[in-house]
Amino acid sequence: MSAVTRRTALAAAALALAATVSACSGTGGGGGVGGGDRADGGKVTLRWSTWGSAEDTAVFKAFTDEFSRKHPNITLKLEQVASYEDYHPKLLTQLTSRTAPDVLYVGDDYIGKLVADGVLAPLDARLAGPDSRSRPADFFEGVYGGARKDGVTYGVPNDTNPEVLWFDKKALTAAGITEDPAVLNEAGQWTMAKFQEMNAKLKAADRIGTIFWNWYGANYSMVNGFGGKVWDGGRFVATTDPKTRQALKTLADGYRDKTFASADLLPEGNSAATQFIKHKAGFYAGGRWVIESIDKGGDRSGYDIVPFPSESGGPIPVAVAASYLTINKDSKHPEEAFTFLTEFVSKEGQRLRLKGGSAVPSVRGAEDLVTEGDYPPHARTFLDVRDRGFANYPDEVAVPGLTKAISDQLMKIWEGKVGFDEGMTQLQTLVDGMKGRQG
């Protein structure tokens, strides 16, 4: 599975980026710009689209049932595409032909393009208006990512999944590690040096130190842990910033000597989740969705989470997986589209959608969905990372395909198909070329 496929699969599962068809919903499809025509009695058919499998849709039933009860004049017509890779190309075609739905899910690696193309409706006035159920200040600045441009908001995060480091106390103990990473973090002593020391001990004990997925969330969080930069003033500086190179070289060396493992390359029968629940790895980078993997092992005890470490032991911005709900600028029913959007992303909407799920609310006031049940023991870490975290950089997501291209190039380095220095040179050439074509 490719890096981007895995990243988007996680987004679909972890953020529950799928929809359910309520009792009054249609079956998708249909023509016309935006929603369908008004029916007798002032009823409106509102088209909306997302990606995800039918298996993911049950978590939205409570929300869509409640929405339909409150708004009997709005008939929802869902247009769902199973594959993330197929969803956005279809959406781009619909937007070009002016046949796109009224309300659109947009992934964090496409939101920048749609904003730049001018096909999404600005939301600030409506979000601040009397009919809003989700004010701009209800969300966290860093999670907007490419959904904002020049101070204008074009998309609102549906929900999130902050990237953290899960750790297995049984694996750490077997490697002779007596310190608890979460306790170190609380004391301001969770440093990159301590993390690397633990990884070395795990490797010496014939275990994997850390399993990472090769996506921007893990890679850029490690960069931040070393104090590096990826983008600076619109320039891609990951290949020239000394601390960023140090972070990427640490990853490359770790993959080469088996201190780290790439989840993308592990066989299906011995996957990252399997290795982790069998205590073969000390750390596993992922979101709240990892709970589902741990539960398959039948034993939650001994697992906890910690943020990515930093040079000083203090907090740093860490990646937060996100996607966005947006409104087609050409929608025939902008009022009804906004009603759907604002209730979907509101505190009440996220409570209905995320109860018992594996995502983290993007809105203030629904934190108990994460902390209830006290699992993992330091569940509050998800919220801490969300509050100061970042969605993928606007400069990057403004170029379609750039995030995937960067991850693919880094994978060549992780696999040893190209030397580190040569790989960095190739990476800079690749980014400069794609940005140049976009400009």
CATH number for the domain that contains residue 265: 3.40.190.10
Q: Which domain holds residue 41?
A: 3-162+322-388
Instruction: Tell me how far apart the alpha carbons of residues 284 and 171 are, in angstroms, rounded to a whole number.
Output: 12
At 439 the pLDDT is: 60
Within a domain: 312: yes
Same domain, 106 and 78: yes
pLDDT value of residue 33: 47
3-state secondary structure (DSSP) of residue 325 = strand
Same domain for 144 and 109: yes
C-alpha separations of 107 from 3, 85, 171, 326 in Å: 15, 10, 35, 11
Give the pLDDT confidence score for residue 138 in this predicted structure.
92
Q: What's the distance, CA 265 to chain centroid?
A: 20
Residues 337 and 257 in one domain: no
Residue 366 burial by Cβ neighbours in a 10 Å radius (0-12, 13-18, 19+): buried
Domain assignment present for residue 186? The answer is yes
The reply to whether 38 and 182 lie within a common domain is: no
pLDDT of the residue at 63:
85
Question: What CA–CA distance (Å, rounded) separates 285 from 168?
Answer: 12
Residue 136 within a domain: yes
Residue type, 422: E
Do 168 and 98 fall within a single domain? no
Classify residue 64: in a domain, yes or no.
yes
Same domain? For 212 and 148 the reply is no
Radius of gyration of the chain (CA): 22
pLDDT given at position 384: 97
Q: What is the pLDDT along the chain (439 residues), one digit of tens a residue?
A: 333 333 443 443 333 333 333 333 333 333 344 444 444 457 999 999 999 877 666 677 788 889 999 999 999 988 989 999 999 999 999 999 999 999 999 999 899 999 999 999 999 999 999 999 999 889 999 999 999 999 999 999 999 999 999 999 999 999 999 999 999 999 999 999 999 999 999 999 999 999 999 999 999 999 999 999 999 999 999 999 999 999 999 999 999 999 999 999 999 889 999 999 999 999 999 999 999 999 988 899 999 999 999 999 999 999 999 999 999 999 999 999 999 999 999 999 999 989 888 899 999 999 999 999 889 999 999 999 999 999 999 999 989 889 999 999 999 999 999 999 999 999 999 999 999 887 6
What is the model's pTM? Answer: 0.89
**How many other CB atoms are found less than 10 A from the CB of residue 375?**
15
The answer to whether residues 148 and 247 belong to one domain is no
**What local confidence, expressed as pLDDT, does residue 31 receive?**
37
Q: What is the pLDDT of residue 125?
A: 96
Number of domain units in the chain: 2
136 Cβ contact partners less than 8 Å away, ≥ 6 residues apart: 124, 127, 128, 153
290 and 329 inside one domain: no
CA distance 382 to 359: 10
The reply to whether 292 and 339 lie within a common domain is no
- Specify whether the CB–CB gap between 308 and 182 falls below 8 A: no
Structure tokens at 47: 């088209």
Task: Answer yes or no: is 425 within a domain.
Answer: yes
Give the pLDDT confidence score for residue 8 in this predicted structure.
41
Torsion-angle region of 227 (φ positive above 0: left; ψ -120 to 50: alpha; else: beta): left
283 and 420 assigned to the same domain: yes
On whether residue 189 sits in a domain, the answer given is: yes
Phi, psi (degrees; rounded to nearest 5) at 80: -110, 135
- Residues 36, 134, single domain; the answer is yes
pLDDT score for 56 = 65
- Domain membership flag for residue 299: yes
- Please report whether residue 383 resides in a domain: yes
pLDDT of residue 400: 85
CA–CA distance, 52 with 43 (Å, rounded to integer): 28
323 near 10, Cβ under 8 Å?
no
CA-CA-CA-CA dihedral for 103, 105, 108, 113, to nearest 10: -50
pLDDT at position 10: 41
DSSP secondary structure of 4-58: HHHHHHHHHHHTT------TT-B-S---SSSS----GGG-EEEEEEEE--GGGGG
- For residues 84 and 3, the answer to whether their CB atoms sit within 8 Å is no
Residue 132 sits in the same domain as residue 214: no
Q: Are 386 and 143 in contact (CB under 8 A)?
A: yes
